[in-house]
Each structure stands twice: as structure tokens, then as C-alpha cells.
Amino acid sequence: MIGLIETTSELRSWEEAQRLATALVNQMSLEQKVNITTGLGVGHARCVGSTSPVTNPDFPSLCLQNGPLGMAPAFNVTLGVAGINAAASFDRKAILDRGIYMGQEFYEKGVHVQLGPAMNFMRSPEGGRGWESFGEDPYLSGVASYETITGIQSQGVIATAKHFIANDQEKNRNEESSNIDDRTMHEIYLWPFARAVDAGVGSVMCSYNKVNGTSACENDMMNRVLRDQLGFQGFIQTDWWAAMETIQSPNNGLDMVMPGNRDPKDNFSPSYFGQDLVNAVKNGKVSESTVTDMAHRIVSAWYKMGQDKNFPNSSINVLDMTPLGSINVEADHKTKVRELGAASVVILSNQDDILPLSESNNNISIIGSDAFSDPLLFNVLKCANFGCDPATLVQGWGSGAVMFPSYIVPPVDGIQARAGKNVKFQTTHDNWNLDEAKKVAQASDIAIVFANSDSGEEYITVDGNAGDRNNLTLWNNGDNLIQTVADANKNTIVVIHSVGPILMPWINHPNIKAVVWPGLPGQESGNSLADVLYGDVNPSGRLPYTIAKNQEDYAAAATSDLEIDYSEKLNIGYRWFDAKNIEPLFPFGHGLSYTKFDYGSLKVKSNSKKNQVNAQLDIQNTGEADGAEIVQLYLSFPESAGEPPKVLRGFEKVFVKSGHKETVCFELTKTELSIWDVASQSWVIPHGQFQIHVGASSRDLRQTSSFTL
């Protein structure tokens, strides 16, 4: 294993990196500068994206590789938890650790640029790629983006904040225009990108869609907002084939075209940059100083991450996808995957304390294809980019899907290993043989029934779903299977692996004692699930999105309209349910524990001169098990501010031993206290009375206190 390089604190400052970049780029000809900005093209690049190398002065071909949850495509890498699970942990430190181990793997394989994290929103539950990102709340997404990027870049790898911006569904992603007013854009969709810039992100990827009528990759938002307002110092690359032309985009801030060839169907088609950009400069359509700035920004990010110092040679070769000679970079990262997998399991319901399971539960049935593995999962031809759903679901499909390592732990294996030899197990994996499911369920004391729901990127269609989900029902006969098992066994536990919310027509069945939501847990799926089912880990995962009673309850749906008006404005996710007084089935932030927590009285101090508010309270573990609580802070703005009823503005994961208490402190600064003022084009703190609510979910508020600014 190659030793790790410096951590973030030792990374160069942007100023230092830019000084070094100026010295290098000043020696380059126009053609050399353009080369740095231009992809080699599919069929010519050894990585998912590779830039053209430059010699004398020397600058290497940069290797850009997917994706947000690990390296893809590549052999001998870790298939970790999806972004949506990272968010469900509400655990800053664990999200940072995830970024660090991903960064290590990219560094050791010689990948300069990781194409992640994904930071789009689960604006509608059907959105095909919502699982790659961090859910429906800007604050949560902002924290998760910040920590992920900090972790990746601490290992000397450039992170990519993607997709800029408002690429929140797959339907017509190349044609649709996401139409968003200025305030909503700032307070919701830009928020995680602002946090990415705070983390010093090296690259941003502009998206396929249009924004308010203009293609995202030609949009002057790239310069005006991203650079001037947020202070972004790195380079902007296109999504693959998202470039449309040669002149507008560089003039509006685009720095790099990927993958290079302009026509996806022709590997030899020229780039919109390359010779065309050289000509545009010669014809006076693009100034040479613009091209100098573009090259400078790319070279600066490279220097900032210290990639000039013994960066490993890239060992990626997508032109020859064989495992031969592939270095193994997995180290012990599976431990982290298991820990984060367990930390992101959400217990939605748990009646009669059926969970955690105990030694006395010695006759268990495990039912449903989602509990099992299947050779098809490992078949990179028949299940390319994970575009298949024959067995347990550990990630969605598309460019962000990691190839399977040599193993995955399906739930059945994880549970049986933890239960030990004295427990009798009966299983069936045929979701359509309901008679068999009934027989197996009847013959056991506890029946654990599994089902899933999948989605992904639009270039693959699975079971008629072209990226976005066609509906929110379970796949593979899941609802009938659950109903059958529940009819047959009075101790039914339902486990759902899903990319996002589903409908639960069986939720009130009296025999369903628990609903467990492990999301998309990656390769250690069965182990992390067993850790929670048996109480080795006390669950603390929380929903990063709202689960509604009806599909129509959501603020937005994935649509085939080409003009998508974000008419819910600030009321994305739970804010909509609050504003419209709709009762969700399971609210944002919900998740149960095997212990109980008492919330002590909330003390709030405000300092309007410093634009600072501090809140503090004690959390007491009054139950029998040690465990962690996710303490959530929601802010209600003065009514005149025109904000949703409440918005998440803080959370802390606090571990409290049984019978003990811990103090939790929050600090709100100008960032958390402001709204975007369109007239002055600035962030302002509204005057008046605010309220702070602290609670265990967005609908389980335990303490409220007010302050005036």
C-alpha cells in the first residue's frame, strides 16, 4: 500500500497553488493551454475522462474517474454505502471518514479527479439519481458535501461537486429547463455548492439540463454566482457530452470539456474545444487570456492538492477492462462500510420491542429475493453498471455504480452468521411463489421479509424504468410478498432496500411489528444489517427524506415536461408537508432507537452584534441500552421573512451511555440565520422573533425557545 500524503491542513492554499500555476502556465503556448482543457475522447482515454498531456513545459494527462460512492469502473475497490446512506447517518465524522477512504483509493490508483460527490436534490421521490446524493434538505446536503469533499481532498485527490445545477430528475435531462427563482436558487439549490466551496473543492461539474432556459454549461451563473458570489477557485468541467459549442461556454466560465469527442456516437468526432477553441481565439471570439485563465484554474487545483509531488501513475485503463494487474486498494475499508452501513439503518417502526432480536428467537424465516445474492450481480456484461435487480439491492444503477468486489454479504448470510448455529432458519427467495412464502412464514416464530425498489441513470432502462422510477411501489412483487408473509406470521419484520421513498399499503397490518430501512448499504449489507437487528449497534439512522402516505402528497414529481417550474419554491421536502399541513407517513429526520432519550430544557443566547446564536441542552439516556441520538435543530424565521414554517439548521450525533446525560451545543452564525434578499442580492438576517425547535425528527419537536434579532 502506498503511504498517504498530507492531510487537508497541509494542502497548499489557493494563493500558493495559483502562484505556482502562473509560473507554469506562463510558459505554455496557446495550443498547450487548450490541450489542458480538452478531453482525449472516449476510445482514446484510459480513464472515464482524460485530458491531453503537455510536454515542455510538462503537465500530465489528468485522470478523471467516477463516482460519488467509490471508484467506477475499476477492479479491487470498495463498494461503500451510497450518498443517501451517508446522509441518513447524520454523522459528520463518519461522512468525513468515508470521504477519506474513498480519497485513499483514488489516490492509490493514480486518479487525479474523483467525479463526486453528487449534490443534487431529492426534489421528487422518483428522481432516478437521488440515491447518489444527500436527500431533500439543503443544510444536511451542505454538511454531507463539505465533509465528503474535505475527506477526499485530504488525500490529494480533486473532488468534483456535481451536477451544477438543478439536475434533479433523469427524464429529458438533456432538454429540460429547470426554472427556479433567484431566492430559491440561493437558499436551496446553491446551498450545498456554497459549502463545497467552503471546503475548497477543486472542481465543479456543470449539468446536462438548462437552467432558466440556458444550458447549464454555457450559463453565466458559472462565473457570476459560482466564482464571484461563492468564491469558487477551482475549475468547471462539463458533464459527459454536456458541451454544446465553443464560444459561449468558455466566455461564461467553462474550463474543461469532457469526454472530448463532441458526438457520443463517434469517438473520432472533434471536441468543441481543441482545435476549434484555438481557432476561436485566433478569430477573436474568445480571448487568449480567457484560455490562460482556464488552464490556470485546472493547474491550480492540481498544485493545491499536491499532485506535483510523486503522484502515483494512473493504473486505470477503461480501454482494456480486465482485472489483470489491477492493484488492490481496498485495505480494511470494509470495516468503515460496515460501520456506516449500520449507522445509516433507519428503524421506522418497532412494536412490542420485537427488535433487537435475542438468543431466544431461534426459529426465523428469511423471505424474498432481496435477502439473497445472485451471480447476475457480478456479471459486468449482463448487469453493466448495476442495471439489474435480481437479488439484494446495495446501490442504484448508472455511472455512479461501483463494480462488485469479490464478494458482497447478502442479508441472509449476515443474519445467519450473527445468529449462530442454534438458530433454525428457513428461507425462500422466490417472490412470486406466494404459497411457498406462506409456508415458510407459518413454520417460523419470526418472519423477516425483504423487498426493494431501484432507480438510476437514464441511459439504462431496468424493468421499464428509464432512470427515474415510474412509480413508488416495491419491485418484484414486493407488496404481495409482504402481505402474504404478514398474513401468515404474527411477528413479521419488513426490511426494505430502496433508493428513496416507497408506498406502504401494508403498513397498518397488525402482524407487521417492525419496518427496517437499510437504504443502499454497499458490500457489507448483511453484516451491517445484522449489527442493528441484534442490537450490537443501537440504531441511530434518520430519514434524509420524507416518506408520504400518498404519491400525490409530494411537492413535485418527475415529469416529462420540458419546462420544469420549481413552483414549490422554498418548500422542498418536509417543508412542503409543514406548509400544507400534510401528515407524512414517516417524517424527515425520523428513526427509532433501542433506548429512550429525554431532552432537557433549551437555553438560547443571542448576540445580534456578532450575528450569533448559541443553543444548548442536555440529552439524557433514560433507557437500558447505550446509544446515540441525532439531535436536530429546526429554525423558524420571523413571519415577515416569508420562510417555510421551519428549516433544519443544525444536528449533532451524541452518544450517551444508559443512565447518563450529555450536553449538546449548537452555534448559528450568519449563514444559518440569513435569507437571500433578491433586491440587494445579498444574504440578510431578517429582524424579529425567531424560534428554535430541538427534537428527534422534523415532527417530533421536544423543546422550543425564541430569540429576537
Residues designated as active site: 239
- Residue 48 or 495: which CB sits closer to ligand BGC? 48
- Residue 115 or 408: which CB sits closer to ligand BGC? 115
Cβ–Cβ < 8 Å for 183, 675: yes
Shortest Å, Cβ 396 to ligand BGC? 12
Q: What is residue 7's three-state secondary structure? A: coil
Shortest Å, Cβ 621 to ligand BGC? 42
Shortest Å, Cβ 262 to ligand BGC? 15
Shortest Å, Cβ 162 to ligand BGC? 6
Shortest Å, Cβ 505 to ligand BGC? 34
Residues 109-138 contacting ligand BGC, CB under 6 A: 115
Q: Does 240 bind ligand BGC (CB under 6 A)?
A: yes
Report the Cα 616 to chain-centroid distance in Å. Answer: 29
Residues in contact with ligand BGC, counted by CB under 6 A, come to a total of 8
Q: Per-residue x/- marks for ligand BGC, 152-191, CB under 6 A?
A: ----------x-----------------------------
Cβ–Cβ < 8 Å for 336, 101: yes
- Residue 44 or 549: which CB sits closer to ligand BGC? 44
Residues 646-705 contacting ligand BGC, CB under 6 A: none
Report the Cα 620 to chain-centroid distance in Å. Answer: 31
Q: Does 66 bind ligand BGC (CB under 6 A)?
A: yes
Residues 20-59 contacting ligand BGC, CB under 6 A: 48
30-35 long-range contacts (CB < 8 A, ≥24 apart) are 30/278, 30/281, 30/288, 30/291, 31/278, 32/57, 32/59, 32/295, 33/291, 33/292, 33/294, 33/295, 34/273, 34/274, 34/277, 34/278, 34/281, 34/291, 34/295, 35/274
Shortest Å, Cβ 129 to ligand BGC? 8
Q: Is 665 left (phi over 0), alpha (psi -120 to 50) or beta?
A: beta
Report the Cα 129 to chain-centroid distance in Å. Answer: 9
Q: Per-residue x/- marks for ligand BGC, 392-421, CB under 6 A?
A: -------x----------------------
Angle at CA 417, nearest 5°, toward 539 and 491? 60
Q: What grid cell was written down for 405?
A: 468486489
Maximal C-alpha separation, the chain = 80
In angstroms, the CA 485 to CA 372 distance is 17
- Residue 177 or 571: which CB sits closer to ligand BGC? 177
Q: How many CA atoms lie within 13 A of 669 on its CB side?
A: 1
Q: Which residue has the cell 462539463?
A: 238
- Residue 67 or 234: which CB sits closer to ligand BGC? 67
Residues 450-479 contacting ligand BGC, CB under 6 A: none
Shortest Å, Cβ 188 to ligand BGC? 20
Pairing of strands 158-164, 113-115: parallel
Q: Does 77 bind ligand BGC (CB under 6 A)?
A: no
Residues 346-385 contacting ligand BGC, CB under 6 A: none
Q: What grid cell was written down for 244?
A: 454544446
Q: What is residue 62's three-state secondary structure? A: coil
- Residue 115 or 617: which CB sits closer to ligand BGC? 115
Neighbour count for residue 509 (Cβ, 10 Å): 16
Q: What is residue 507's three-state secondary structure? A: coil
Instruction: Give the total residue count for the chain.
Output: 709
- Residue 162 or 438: which CB sits closer to ligand BGC? 162
Tell me which of 176, 239, 454, 643 binds ligand BGC, using CB under 6 A: 239
Q: What grid cell was written down for 587?
A: 417524517
User: Is omega for the bond preceding 60 within 30 degrees of 0, making it cis?
Assistant: no
Q: What is residue 527's three-state secondary structure? A: helix
Q: Does 568 bind ligand BGC (CB under 6 A)?
A: no
Shortest Å, Cβ 48 to ligand BGC? 5
DSSP code, position 222: I
Q: Does 569 bind ligand BGC (CB under 6 A)?
A: no
- Residue 72 or 419: which CB sits closer to ligand BGC? 72
In angstroms, the CA 405 to CA 383 distance is 14
Residue ranges binding ligand BGC (CB under 6 A):
48, 66-67, 115, 162, 239-240, 399
